[in-house]
Structure 1
Amino acid sequence: MAVPKEVFLKIFEDKKLLFRTLQDLKDEEFQDFKWHLPPDCMPNGFSAIPVCKLENADRRETVDLMVKTYWKNTIEVATTTLKAINQNDLVYKLRNALSGATGAPSWYFGDGAQATTPALDPSPGTSEDPATVHSAQKTSGELSAKGMKYIPAPPSTMSTSAELSETAYKCQRELKSNLQKKFQCVFEGIGKAGNLTLLNQVYTELYITEGGTGEVDYQHEVRQMETAFMKPDRPETAIRAGDIFKASPGRDELVRTVMTKGVAGIGKTVLTQKFNLDWAEYKTNQDIQFTFPFTFRELNVLKEKKYSLVELVHHFFTETKAAGICSFKEFQVLFIFDGLDECRLPLDFHNNEILTDVRESTSVDVLLTNLISGTLLPSARLWITTRPAAANQIPPDCVGMVTEVKGFTDPQKEEYFRKRFRDEEQASRLISHIKTSRNIHLMCHIPVFCWITATVLENVLKTGEGGELPKTLTAMYIHFLVVQAKLKNAKYDGGAETDPHWSPESRKMIESLAKLAFEQLQKGNLIFYESDLTECGIDITAASVYSGVFTQIFREESELYQDKVFSFVHLTVQEFLAALHVHLTFINSGVNLMEREKKSRWSKLFRKKPRWTQFYQRAVDKALQSPNGHLDLFLRFLLGLSLPTNQSLLRGLLIQTGSSSQTNLVTVQYIKDKISEHLSPDRSINLFHCLNELNDSSIVEETQQSLRSGCLRNVQLSPAQWSALVIILLSPEKHLGPY
């Protein structure tokens, strides 16, 4: 019997489509796919392909075998098998391609069959078997450990109303379209200025690990980062952002709440943006039916407002209000809350009222605590990002899994710079230079610092100014500040590149921002509202001007109701400007901001000491007294600003110079004396970094010489100091140079 032409053409197209689908599977996933093809997974009594034929079959041969065996039902069998191995994203993609639609999926099941309603796929791990569904229905929404994990409701619990389902389907399409527009472009390093860059073109994968706890880490974030890539105590499990909510080996239940930790600038926000974009573009996590991304910055300005959960979603995502969706329990919903460390809501999990009705109005704080604890909308999934120091704001029993963004690995750093610099020779030169400085190479684990470094090195190579490429953190940040002053001078003042870049106006702006940086750093604030600016003597209008001029240093983000939020582009930029403020204040007025106590008449006894010597020694002491090392990087910048070479780069901003070379020698010796005391390894490490900022590597050189001579007995270091030196000497540089 002849095969009708239209059937033959359809099978031919299905065959090509299935082959492309199998190409999206990794090798081990493809083996799983073949393993699930025998009878256990076959619907409607389809016969199985003999194992001996599948065992060594590649993708093309497997497709041929499937078409020969299942004929018109090949796609139905493939869909069932993909679902059996939790490849729902590929199921979704396959159906979408079959429908020929540009943005919406088709619910095609094989030979012309259509689903009766546009309900979305079952969640991973659920079954369409009636007995399994019945069992799942009884446990749907039940939580263990205060909402830590849950079994998602199966599709049969969703509304069967064709009209409601169609409305929800259209709402989902509109939400995805709007999220695509919102997240498809990024501003690298800055908020709302500069050239638009497509996220998919510049995005570089980050190293993310699964495991750990939600406990607070009080260490300075640079110190955390310095230990992040050391050999861990136990094997780490790397995880892709798109796989966070997928079932994995050893995890029978899906996780309800994921907390992702990471230091400032490590890429947490961009990570959530990429997740949202991939979902909106029908690439990943299509078992999630609605994704609602929030930032705590947005929620902070609603502190005094009252909403129900439905009203809050309607307020931020008007598509849901237009669709008349007033309940979310029948959908698989993901809430993303980015920036817990910026939250200014109390989040009182112990004393807040209990709330279970999504339509009941209350404060945003109460909404969040009940949503996170699982008493409100327990079927929802949550993803919370935070810096480590704020992780303990969420009770541990409300978190199902903790992941940590550790930034770029060494190969990822190189990938970033090769994307940034298309000239292969230039990119290789910059990568080689970065490897010669342990400080800079280490800091480049942070994506924002990679951007700062690229900005500086690009300018140095372009203009030929500033001599050799900067090798210390202080020199790098001074160059960065100078680059921004040049941009401001050329763009807003109409000046030429050769004109002095520190005009009185620019100097005043930077001095005001430096004061803000220091005063807010003392309070632990990294984002600033109008009240914070007023306390520092900056009105809201001036702040907007600053953010518009120095766009790559200070940024403004207009939130709801036109309330404005400001921040520095990165914590280290704030710390550098804070150190600059302390330095400028001491130069101009003789006031040491590191001394809180008032000077007594007995201070006359110390007049024999040079002012600058006492200034730096007090700063070293203050940093060592800090229980969590929060002044470590600040101290590096402050000491680095004492070098005449660095001060010359700031000529025009610094009206008069500061310390002398003799002062620096005294400071170096003071630090060496401190290292000889019995300090903890992390304190010793930071003091070595401080010596590096002062261009002193004598201890390292002495140790290297002793190592080469085979004699270490004359080097007097405690075990803690040896630990610090070992870490420094084993840094992955071909040329140690400044460590």
Structure 2
Amino acid sequence: MSLRGDGDQTHKPEFPVSSCVSMKSDWSMDRPPVFSRESAASDSKLKSPVSSCVSMKSDRSMDRPPNFRGESPPSGSKQRRTLPVSVFQPFTGTTRSKAGVLKKVLQSHESSLKRKVEHICEGIIDPENQTLLKNIYTELYITEGETEGVNKEHEVQQIEAAHRRRRRDTPINCNDIFKASPGQEKHIRTVMTKGVAGIGKTVSVHKFILDWAEGAANQDVDFIFLLPFRGMNLVKDEGYSLHQLLLDFHPELQELEDTQKYEGCKMIFIFDGLDESRIQLNFHIQEQKLCDVTQTSSVGVVITNLIQGNLLPSALVWITSRPAAANQIPAQHISQLTEVRGFNDPQKEEFFRKRIRDETQANKIISHMKTSRSLYIMCHIPVFCWISATVLQEVLLQDDSKEIPRTLTEMFTHFLIIQTNMKNQKYDERSEMDRQKLLQSNKDVVLKLANLAFNQLEKGNLLFYEEDLRECGIDVTAASVYSGMCTEIFKEESVFQQKKIYCFVHLTIQDFLAAFWVFYCYVKKNMEELETFLTRQKKVSLDDLLKAAIDKSLQSENGYLDLFLRFLLGISLESNQELLQGLLPQTESSSESLQRTSQYIKKKMINQNKPRNMVLTKLFGKKSVSTERAMNLLLCLLEMKDSSLHEEIDVLVESGKNLSPAHCSVLAYMILVSEDVLDEFDLRKYNTDDGGRERLMIAVRNCRKARLGGCNLTASSCKTVAAALQSPDSHLTDLDLSNNKILDSGVEHICVGLESSCCKLETLRLQSCSLSAVSCSALSLALRSNSTGLRRLDLSFNNLQDSGMKLLSTALEDPHCKLENLRLYGCSLSAVSCSALSSALRSNSSRLRLLDLSSNNLQDSGVALLSTALEDPHCKLETLLLQSCSLSAGCCSALSSALRSNSSRLRLLDLSYNNLQDSGVKLLSTALEDPHCTLENLQLQSCSLSAGCCSALSSALRSNSSHLRLLDLSINNLQDSGVELLSTALEGPHCKLENLQLRYCKLSAMSCSALSSALRSNSSRLRLLDLSNNNLQDSGVELLSTALEDPHCNLENLHIIYMAAPEILAT
């Protein structure tokens, strides 16, 4: 906590005898004296008669200081910090002097940090005119928790992976990194933030510091200490204290002679870039326990003691790391794990619009990026967004549409050319328009950087030191010239006592230059440089080189050569070689070599015992390539602009032949990398077995509607679907999993996806999935989530019972629930469910417009409860389906009352297959005549009706107030007399009926005579008439035909099919 001068007035009890251990903490000090106008408080420290020999810190051993103003200063994150004091002593001139020094140090520290982080380096023309971070910063997508599973892809391609599972992710603001999630009460001391290279970890850290320094956030914090691992690597001294380390990185602390001052301050230590650390951190063996900031040891021991809480236990610690290195710190020392996932789609656009002020140009660039799926996906990485913006701005200025990059290699080649020209403008004060001359004049610089990139890629290094540069012939005294072309490509940093380290601005640039170096050496026939890369150096053809690179990439479990391989294959294209003329001695003829390489790639993915026909029959077996490498090989084919594999698979699918699991894997990946999003992915149309369908599942990420019903899927399959729902680039809005035994556990996986802020799903069908009330608990939680956009949910034919319905009803009352359509056909519900539903429907928050409770034993008492809700002004229900609900005429009284209510919005009511009888329909007919009744569609199939109800219905239809447009009286014993009454209504000028269903109503030709007359009436609006399965005979059909010829007849559809009568009318 920060000591701010707003404490309550308490007294510390004196210890009669001191111990040799003094228990200290941030509670163990006074509030500070304050020299501003904000607040003032001071007191003196009650000292123990004997000093302690060991300082142990806790949080309960001290008094609060007295408040001499008699009031507390306002609280809030924007309140400016007051001056902390760690020594509890009388307020004397000496105290005032020491406090003045501390105040000066705090102000100096704040200003120094602000200068370090307020700019983001984007250009090399004028370093003095750098972009302000707050002007270009786009909020990143940071989540609590992390991606599950072991990463086996290149870091950049982890973003392109389609099969990653995620825990429930909670988006958090960067400034709230130390705040517990709502509902959690845990204290967060140490935070680990993971993310791939270039995703924005360091920028997030800088924005956190900048907001603090400018007074915009975290104003309860006194000190923030930024300690990048890349700088600490240079500390060679084994006798270092934490205080000395802070002095080296923050020299403004030199005046802080009394190190006890730290103890009274709220501090945050930020260790940025754990993955760049060359310091040994040993948490398993306690080498040396440090309890004082002045105790010396190795830097690794100092850091581990701080993270473990031995040093400054009240201090907060934030560590950032790439994923592979994060496990250096044991989980028990991490309070909260977060992950930077880069930009989601709206944030990508926001970045481009901030970076490109010209709106027309920004629109063109965003539109182009969206047409290339592989490029747009990579824009999750802010650095790639910046590279793309830089390149496309320059290309569009030249107005050369042929030059617009469409592949990864083309994008980075243009970036290299643009930055080389910018280097000329800075150092040579000239701009070279001739691309070949430009590259020729900078050939030496580029080649040395490419050599460095390749050498360090093989060693797995992203950070380089002076000796690494010397190995590649780079003069370290002139390194600034290299980093001249290289604020964007290659960075030089003075991080510790003016010692320098170097790196490429992003690992993708290192991959690109390394690939260029390999291709350059091949063209120059300088095979000695590639002796670690090639098994043989003599008589190496281009396809030999490329095949060797493919083999080497496939041997890598973590995929560190995946992007390198894509770049190498891309550079081999003659079109890209032409762009690089000036660096390459000549263009290498590559079409035949690339064709052979393409065949080799496909052989790596197929059964090699099936030559020539290219039928993919054995992928991902024991000796086949891994899923991650196979995905990269497909991307390599795209980089080579080779679509042959796609065409072969298409032919196989169209033929209807059986698809093996191998075919399905390739097909799924092709759908994922396709530039077009599928409108519908129907798993049932592919002729394959269960194993093949499981592999096809990952394709759901690149479709809008996924039809997966009846495909023998399991709970495990739902993990793949959940991962797709959580993907930032998911397009899935409609998902059908019906008729699969996914069980409650499968629904729980789906709900994790529904709660993701990336989820775009609006329709979820889960009919007949072997679910119970347990699923309703997970669904209820998901529906109440602020992130869920679900509007339609079908849970029909699952044994949910009343307990499940109660859980769902709770969700319907939540203001975050957006559900409009809920289908619960055959879910073992009773009148008890109607009570909960009625309450939910009356809630002001409910948005439900369609409710299907058919085939549930609701009985009249249940419908009476629902009718009460229909009369409530908050109820928005427009469609109520109650087929086969064990209803009688008794329910019609309540429904009639509800329909006559001024509040009712009901437009469709289905009471089919209930024993309503004529008396019930007469009650409903009364409602139809009421001007408040909004009903337009009334379905009364098989309701035990006779001609006796038709008189009441006819009267209602002739009423000026009736809005009824569809009436279904099928499977009722109306006979001709009943239809004659209805026909009279059709001729009435107020009748609005357009659709009349009279199947299985025991009608004869006599009915046709009455209907024919009505159809010829000038008033009839009937457009559809269904008389199927009635004994009309030819004479009846002729009468209807006559009516159809009449100019007044509006009929468009006439159904008169005759089949055997259903059992219900068999008598």
For the pair 1:261 / 2:206, whether they are aligned, the reply is no
Q: 1:721 aligns with which of 659, 666, 685?
A: 666
Q: How far does residue 569 in structure 1 lie from its aligned partner after superposition? A: 1.0
Separation in structure 2 between the aligned mates of residue 373 and residue 731 of structure 1, nearest angstrom:
50
Q: For structure 1, which segment, 675-684 or 331-340, has the greater mean C-alpha deviation from structure 2 after superposition?
A: 675-684
Separation in structure 2 between the aligned mates of residue 506 and residue 326 of structure 1, nearest angstrom:
52
1:298 to 1:398, Cα distance in 2 relative to 1, 3 A: same
Residue 398 of structure 1 corresponds to 333
Residue 321 of structure 1 corresponds to 254
- Counterpart of 2:160 in 1: which secondary structure? helix
Separation in structure 2 between the aligned mates of residue 157 and residue 547 of structure 1, nearest angstrom:
44
Larger Rg: 2
Asked whether the equivalents of residues 417 and 439 of structure 2 are also in contact (C-alpha less than 8 Å), the reply is no
1:291 to 1:488, Cα distance in 2 relative to 1, 3 A: closer
- Counterpart of 2:295 in 1: which secondary structure? coil
1:303 to 1:224, Cα distance in 2 relative to 1, 3 A: farther
Asked whether the equivalents of residues 422 and 431 of structure 2 are also in contact (C-alpha less than 8 Å), the reply is no
1:170 to 1:379, Cα distance in 2 relative to 1, 3 A: same
- Counterpart of 1:334 in 2: which secondary structure? strand
Name the aligned partner's letter for residue 456 of structure 1.
Answer: V
Residue 374 of structure 1 corresponds to 309
Q: What do residues 412-455 of structure 1 show as CA deviations (whole Å, max 9, x unaligned)?
A: 00000011112212111111100111221111111111111111
- Counterpart of 1:337 in 2: which secondary structure? strand
Asked whether the equivalents of residues 423 and 484 of structure 2 are also in contact (C-alpha less than 8 Å), the reply is no
For the pair 1:578 / 2:514, whether they are aligned, the reply is yes
Residue 117 of structure 2 corresponds to 183
Residue 146 of structure 2 corresponds to 212
- Counterpart of 1:247 in 2: which secondary structure? coil
Asked whether the equivalents of residues 334 and 380 of structure 1 are also in contact (C-alpha less than 8 Å), the reply is yes
Residue 635 of structure 2 corresponds to 689
Q: For structure 1, which segment, 316-325 or 613-622, has the greater mean C-alpha deviation from structure 2 after superposition?
A: 316-325
Q: How far does residue 727 in structure 1 lie from its aligned partner after superposition? A: 2.7
Residue 77 of structure 1 corresponds to none
Asked whether the equivalents of residues 514 and 577 of structure 1 are also in contact (C-alpha less than 8 Å), the reply is yes
Residue 573 of structure 2 corresponds to 643
Asked whether the equivalents of residues 259 and 402 of structure 1 are also in contact (C-alpha less than 8 Å), the reply is yes
Separation in structure 2 between the aligned mates of residue 404 and residue 643 of structure 1, nearest angstrom:
37
Residue 214 of structure 2 corresponds to 281
Q: How far does residue 207 in structure 1 lie from its aligned partner after superposition? A: 0.2
Asked whether the equivalents of residues 213 and 402 of structure 1 are also in contact (C-alpha less than 8 Å), the reply is no
Q: What do residues 498-547 of structure 1 show as CA deviations (whole Å, max 9, x unaligned)?
A: 34444655101111110000001111111111122223332312433211
Separation in structure 1 between the aligned mates of residue 121 and residue 179 of structure 2, nearest angstrom:
30
Identity of aligned residues (%): 47
Separation in structure 2 between the aligned mates of residue 732 and residue 105 of structure 1, nearest angstrom:
61
Q: 2:390 aligns with which of 452, 455, 464?
A: 455
Residue 699 of structure 1 corresponds to 645
Asked whether the equivalents of residues 125 and 426 of structure 2 are also in contact (C-alpha less than 8 Å), the reply is no
1:430 to 1:652, Cα distance in 2 relative to 1, 3 A: same
Name the aligned partner's letter for residue 388 of structure 2.
Answer: T
Asked whether the equivalents of residues 543 and 597 of structure 2 are also in contact (C-alpha less than 8 Å), the reply is yes
Name the aligned partner's letter for residue 415 of structure 1.
Answer: E
Consecutive unaligned residues of structure 2, counting only runs of 5 or more, are 1-7, 10-33, 46-57, 64-82, 607-618, 680-701, 703-1067
Residue 554 of structure 1 corresponds to 490
Separation in structure 2 between the aligned mates of residue 733 and residue 571 of structure 1, nearest angstrom:
32
Q: How does 1:578-597 map to 2 (within 5 A)?
A: 578-589=514-525, 591=527, 596=532
Asked whether the equivalents of residues 255 and 401 of structure 1 are also in contact (C-alpha less than 8 Å), the reply is yes
Q: How well do the aligned residues superpose, as a CA RMSD in angstroms?
A: 3.4
Asked whether the equivalents of residues 193 and 551 of structure 1 are also in contact (C-alpha less than 8 Å), the reply is no
Separation in structure 1 between the aligned mates of residue 532 and residue 425 of structure 2, nearest angstrom:
41
Q: What do residues 609-631 of structure 1 show as CA deviations (whole Å, max 9, x unaligned)?
A: x7112111111111111121111
Q: How far does residue 230 in structure 1 lie from its aligned partner after superposition? A: 6.7
Q: How far does residue 702 in structure 1 lie from its aligned partner after superposition? A: 5.2
Residue 631 of structure 1 corresponds to 561
Asked whether the equivalents of residues 216 and 388 of structure 1 are also in contact (C-alpha less than 8 Å), the reply is no
Q: How far does residue 247 in structure 1 lie from its aligned partner after superposition? A: 3.1
Residue 408 of structure 2 corresponds to 473
Asked whether the equivalents of residues 279 and 286 of structure 1 are also in contact (C-alpha less than 8 Å), the reply is yes
- Counterpart of 1:404 in 2: which secondary structure? strand
Q: How does 1:329-348 map to 2 (within 5 A)?
A: 329-348=263-282
Q: 1:519 aligns with which of 455, 466, 477?
A: 455
For the pair 1:350 / 2:295, whether they are aligned, the reply is no
Q: TM-score, normalised by structure 1?
A: 0.74
Name the aligned partner's letter for residue 670 of structure 2.
Answer: L
Asked whether the equivalents of residues 361 and 393 of structure 2 are also in contact (C-alpha less than 8 Å), the reply is no
Consecutive unaligned residues of structure 1, counting only runs of 5 or more, are 1-42, 45-98, 109-113, 120-134, 141-154
Residue 412 of structure 1 corresponds to 347
Q: How far does residue 172 in structure 1 lie from its aligned partner after superposition? A: 2.3
Asked whether the equivalents of residues 175 and 218 of structure 2 are also in contact (C-alpha less than 8 Å), the reply is yes
1:165 to 1:192, Cα distance in 2 relative to 1, 3 A: farther
Separation in structure 2 between the aligned mates of residue 337 and residue 118 of structure 1, nearest angstrom:
36
Name the aligned partner's letter for residue 559 of structure 2.
Answer: G
Separation in structure 1 between the aligned mates of residue 346 and residue 533 of structure 2, nearest angstrom:
49
Q: How far does residue 716 in structure 1 lie from its aligned partner after superposition? A: 8.6
Separation in structure 1 between the aligned mates of residue 148 and residue 648 of structure 2, nearest angstrom:
42
Q: TM-score, normalised by structure 2?
A: 0.52
Residue 665 of structure 1 corresponds to 595
Name the aligned partner's letter for residue 663 of structure 1.
Answer: S
Corresponding residue pairs, total: 594
Q: What do residues 140-172 of structure 1 show as CA deviations (whole Å, max 9, x unaligned)?
A: 9xxxxxxxxxxxxxx999544453555434432
1:508 to 1:711, Cα distance in 2 relative to 1, 3 A: same
Name the aligned partner's letter for residue 548 of structure 1.
Answer: G
Separation in structure 2 between the aligned mates of residue 380 and residue 654 of structure 1, nearest angstrom:
55
1:732 to 1:272, Cα distance in 2 relative to 1, 3 A: farther
Q: For structure 1, which segment, 536-545 or 289-298, has the greater mean C-alpha deviation from structure 2 after superposition?
A: 536-545
Residue 11 of structure 1 corresponds to none
Q: 1:615 aligns with which of 530, 539, 545?
A: 545
Separation in structure 1 between the aligned mates of residue 125 and residue 466 of structure 2, nearest angstrom:
18
1:714 to 1:216, Cα distance in 2 relative to 1, 3 A: closer
Separation in structure 1 between the aligned mates of residue 59 and residue 282 of structure 2, nearest angstrom:
33
1:302 to 1:731, Cα distance in 2 relative to 1, 3 A: farther
Asked whether the equivalents of residues 649 and 663 of structure 2 are also in contact (C-alpha less than 8 Å), the reply is no
Asked whether the equivalents of residues 44 and 88 of structure 2 are also in contact (C-alpha less than 8 Å), the reply is no
1:189 to 1:720, Cα distance in 2 relative to 1, 3 A: farther
* Higher RCO structure (Cα 8 Å, ≥6 apart): 1
Q: What do residues 19-60 of structure 1 show as CA deviations (whole Å, max 9, x unaligned)?
A: xxxxxxxxxxxxxxxxxxxxxxxx99xxxxxxxxxxxxxxxx
Name the aligned partner's letter for residue 360 of structure 1.
Answer: Q
